[in-house]
Amino acid sequence: MIVYFDTSAAVKLFVEEAESDLARRTEQEARLVITSLVTYAEACAAFARKARESDNFSLFGEFKAALDQRWRYWEALPADEATIRRAAELAYIHRLRGYDSVQLAAAESARAIVAGTVPFEFAVFDRELKRGAREAGFRLTGE
């Protein structure tokens, strides 16, 4: 299986949250993890927020180092002009926020590349992006 991880799924690999076990199991079972370059920035922003909320500023560095370790094995798709233009359309079609629409556009690109050669799944835990991905016909992790 090839799985596309959006930021909500990626963060669960490092920060203990509801459904973190599902995210970890999904990553372990995947032959390949694909994500967008924007996931890196979004995940680090989430790590910074968690560090601030816990008053443990070393957490940011720990989470980021763990992400850097995994990042080497993931395929990160660029947020190029074609992706951004498609994201603009998807933001309207599926009523998504900016980066969520970029994630969905990148997942569409990844799905098109593998096009039926292997099972493809979208790992997403953000409610609105999950709804948009479902509407776009993705097989979702845990469903």
**Count of beta carbons in the 10 Å neighbourhood of residue 135:** 13
**Do residues 63 and 15 touch, judged by C-beta distance below 8 A?**
yes
Closest CA to 132 of 33, 74, 142, 99: 99
Per-residue pLDDT at 72 exceeds 90: yes
The pLDDT tens digits for 92-108 are: 999 999 999 999 999 99
Which domains does the chain show, CATH number per domain? 2-135 (3.40.50.1010)
Q: Is the pLDDT of residue 15 over 90?
A: yes
How far apart are the two ends of the chain, measured CA to CA in Å? 15
Q: How distant is the alpha carbon of residue 72 from its chain centre?
A: 15
Cα separation, 29 vs 132, whole angstroms: 24
- Residue pair 35/11 in contact by the 8 Å Cβ criterion: no
Rounded mean pLDDT of the chain? 97
98-114 vs 127-135: helix crossing angle, rounded to 10: 40
